[in-house]
Structure 1
Amino acid sequence: MTWRIIKMEKLTLDKIDDFLRGTAFLGTGGGGNPYVGGLMLRQELEKGFEPKLIKGDEVADDDLVLPIANMGAPTVLVEKLPNAKSAVKALRKMEELMGKKCKALIAAEAGGINGTLPFIVSAYTGLPVIDADGMGRAFPELQMCTFGVYGVNCSPVIVRDEKDNEMIVNAENNHASEMFARVICMQMGTKSEICLYPMTGKQMKETSVHHTVTLAYEIGKSIGDARDKGTDPLDGIVEYFKNSFDKRFCKLLFQGKVTDLLRETTDGWARGEVKITSLTDPNENILVKLQNEFLIALKNGKPLAMVPDLICLVDLENAEPITAEDVKYGQRVNVIGVSVPPNMRTKAALDTFGPVPFKVFDKYIPIEEIK
């Protein structure tokens, strides 16, 4: 089968489960569990809301495009739920600062709950959502966006919470924007709604990872279709990436059971590592390190895959993606690695969100080159 849905025309109730499954996969463990965002979005769809999904080239070059996101630790988002009205108020404040109205929304990251938030805000504002994002997955820090890598200023950043506390960050660079916004977010309970990276339509077209809403839906659909046919959903994932509209390298990295787990919330992030032991050889295991997202998979100290390539944990039986906060001792999992598009592998990109900035490895090795 060759997948050629170049754009998903509408996000409807019958597509939402596949879409949510795909955002969880692209979250690579982070981005926040999309379940709650899915409930919020489903509620709006049941009221008759019809979100408009547009391609990047449908936006005029001088239009104002605004990314919306939740900021914080995914482990906190389980208990401290997203607030759509707070996100809308952040959007309106950014419009006020920019002196013009927003013409389209875009996800800061395609993974997890932040893949759904633009659609929820769209329900309140009527704004279209662009089939693109700034990460092609999920990353833990604000400067780790292709928007910033290719010249868009992260500032101003509007940081809000459900109590109507609001702070505006104007910083000297994108890393400083992350640093100051993170401190504010922690004071707000390690969960905030933010609006950031205000940009023109031209900048959006030049700096985004495109078609990631469609990508999320198709990943989720490939898993769901395989289940419906009674075939191995893992094969469905690999086959999808082999034949998708933007072909990616995809492979099974490891299969096993979670035998040790360290996870703690520090400095505004969920950090830790997961030990996975082979089902057939108790002496064979891998270690997956995480900072909100899964960053590197190591076997005997040697990498199997590393950021920015995707490292995804899925259930062994049904391939349901597992977020970092939902990893549990004894779970049987497949660990899957997927390559990222070329604009996430340039020197500028790797200097921002490669293994060296994360301090997990001394150089980037593409997943397809690791033997």
Structure 2
Amino acid sequence: MRELTADDLGDLARGAAILGTGGGGDPYIGRLLAQAALDKYGPVPLTALDELPDDAEVLPVAMMGAPTVALEKLPSIEQVGNAVRALGEYRGKAATHIACIEAGGINSLTPVVAAAQLGLPLIDADGMGRAFPELQMVLPTLIGVQATPTSITDEKGNHQIVAAIDNHWAERLARSATVDMGCSTMVSLYGMTGSEARASLVDGTVSLCVELGRLVTSARNGTAPADAVAARLDGRRVFDGKVVDVARRTEQGFARGEAIIEGLDHDAQSRLTIAFQNENLIARRDGVAVATVPDLICVLDRDTGEAITTETLRYGHRVTVLVAPADPRWHTSDGLALAGPQAFGYELEQ
């Protein structure tokens, strides 16, 4: 077991933004929250997935809603912890461990906030190996872990518990509540045992985020940061260019839209269009799909290697677009049905 300290937060936020594939919320906001929590409560123990006892009570916590709204409606340390407390009280079992439900943006850092405030260890794992926009799109769904009961809290102090017949209904009901609460909430959900966590979570993703963040920083002195990230994730570059248009709207609790990137250098005379729903979903080069979910489509600043989230992408950004493979479980028939291109309305094969 090791500890997450304030010195790790910059790298954790930087790496989480890469795995977030454009979504998961602004990592800068998450870093500010985590910094405040660690300053107040001290470092957070990090527990390896294989160290979990079978009867551990694992409660993940995350932000739900449109990342564009979260830029202006900031959560508090107390709001994050309240979501976990409310779920534990409803289940009648206090949490023994905190987990990330997705490795991306703010949602790799809000669990650090909860763990620090509640004095609990954080598991070095997450439920996706990346970020996805909808609540049911996690690997625990594939082994039958129920999303509900789910606790939902807002910045005003309101909270509610959602119970649903399945994880798709959990998404619908929790999304409606989130819209009513201002399109940005904190949720605690997918309460599970230690044995269920070991069977369903993606191992080592918190440490991977920190590693990726350090890799980007060190690569600036030599190798192009994007190439270093691609090599670590077994991925590849698919495009270099300049953003010439971004159409973005907040709709049904999501940030939806598309970005158009004009090619530079070896990609000159081509255009890449990326469609997103919080996260980057599909990339088309000159109208032909070159990458789709569930694989990771990462948009990085061409010079610094910093990931650019969908809510901050803007005209003039010079970017490198990388594609990296998702956890193999996402490429099973059940995984593709849950979070493949057809799940988002794209009639494509992955």
Instruction: Tell whether the structures are fold-level matches, with TM greater than 0.5.
Output: yes
Match of 1:158 in 2: 151
Aligned residues of 1:37 and 1:82 also touching (Cα < 8 A) = no
Asked whether 1:237 is paired with 2:229, we answer: yes
Select which of 273, 276, 291 maps to 1:290.
276
Q: TM-score, normalised by structure 1?
A: 0.91
Deviation at residue 273 of structure 1 after TM alignment: 0.4
Aligned residues of 1:295 and 1:360 also touching (Cα < 8 A) = no
Asked whether 1:100 is paired with 2:86, we answer: no
Select which of 227, 237, 255 maps to 1:270.
255
Match of 1:120 in 2: 113
Please give the per-residue CA displacement for 1:74-103, whole angstroms capped at 9, x wherever unaligned.
Answer: 000100112221222221221122222211
Match of 2:60 in 1: 67
Q: TM-score, normalised by structure 2?
A: 0.96
Q: Please list every run of 5 or more consecutive structure 2 residues that lacks an aligned counterpart in the other structure.
A: none
- 1:186 partner SS: helix
Select which of 317, 323, 334 maps to 2:303.
317
Taking the aligned partners of 2:223 and 2:160, their CA distance within structure 1 comes to 50
Taking the aligned partners of 1:48 and 1:272, their CA distance within structure 2 comes to 39
Asked whether 1:31 is paired with 2:17, we answer: no
Listed as ranges, the matches of 1:1-371 within 5 Å are 9-47=2-40, 49-227=42-220, 229-241=221-233, 249-280=234-265, 283-364=269-350
Deviation at residue 40 of structure 1 after TM alignment: 1.8
Q: AA paired with 2:342?
A: V
Taking the aligned partners of 1:164 and 1:33, their CA distance within structure 2 comes to 22
Deviation at residue 342 of structure 1 after TM alignment: 1.2
* TM-aligned CA distance change 1:86 to 1:42, over 3 Å: closer
Please give the per-residue CA displacement for 1:146-202, whole angstroms capped at 9, x wherever unaligned.
Answer: 111221001111111111211211111100000011011001000111111111111
* TM-aligned CA distance change 1:231 to 1:111, over 3 Å: same
Q: How many corresponding residue pairs?
A: 349
Which piece of structure 1 moves more, 78-87 or 170-179?
78-87
Aligned residues of 2:61 and 2:99 also touching (Cα < 8 A) = yes
Q: AA paired with 1:17?
A: G
Aligned residues of 1:83 and 1:193 also touching (Cα < 8 A) = no
Aligned residues of 1:153 and 1:197 also touching (Cα < 8 A) = yes
Taking the aligned partners of 2:128 and 2:71, their CA distance within structure 1 comes to 22
Aligned residues of 1:53 and 1:131 also touching (Cα < 8 A) = yes
Deviation at residue 306 of structure 1 after TM alignment: 0.8
Q: AA paired with 1:27?
A: G
- 2:96 partner SS: strand
Deviation at residue 282 of structure 1 after TM alignment: 5.7
Taking the aligned partners of 1:283 and 1:252, their CA distance within structure 2 comes to 17
Q: AA paired with 1:331?
A: H
Q: AA paired with 1:187?
A: D
Taking the aligned partners of 1:66 and 1:268, their CA distance within structure 2 comes to 23
Aligned residues of 2:80 and 2:114 also touching (Cα < 8 A) = yes
Deviation at residue 235 of structure 1 after TM alignment: 2.3
- 1:79 partner SS: coil
Taking the aligned partners of 2:349 and 2:224, their CA distance within structure 1 comes to 34
Taking the aligned partners of 1:40 and 1:87, their CA distance within structure 2 comes to 10
| Coordinate RMSD, CA, aligned | 1.4
Taking the aligned partners of 1:180 and 1:13, their CA distance within structure 2 comes to 36
Q: AA paired with 1:273?
A: E
Q: AA paired with 1:216?
A: C
Taking the aligned partners of 1:167 and 1:101, their CA distance within structure 2 comes to 18
Please give the per-residue CA displacement for 1:53-93, whole angstroms capped at 9, x wherever unaligned.
Answer: 00112111112110101101000010011222122222122
Taking the aligned partners of 2:236 and 2:171, their CA distance within structure 1 comes to 33
Q: AA paired with 1:270?
A: A
Taking the aligned partners of 2:285 and 2:313, their CA distance within structure 1 comes to 19
Taking the aligned partners of 2:232 and 2:251, their CA distance within structure 1 comes to 37
* TM-aligned CA distance change 1:84 to 1:47, over 3 Å: closer
- 1:363 partner SS: coil
- 2:275 partner SS: strand
Taking the aligned partners of 2:343 and 2:231, their CA distance within structure 1 comes to 32
Q: Please list every run of 5 or more consecutive structure 1 residues that lacks an aligned counterpart in the other structure.
A: 1-6, 242-248, 365-371
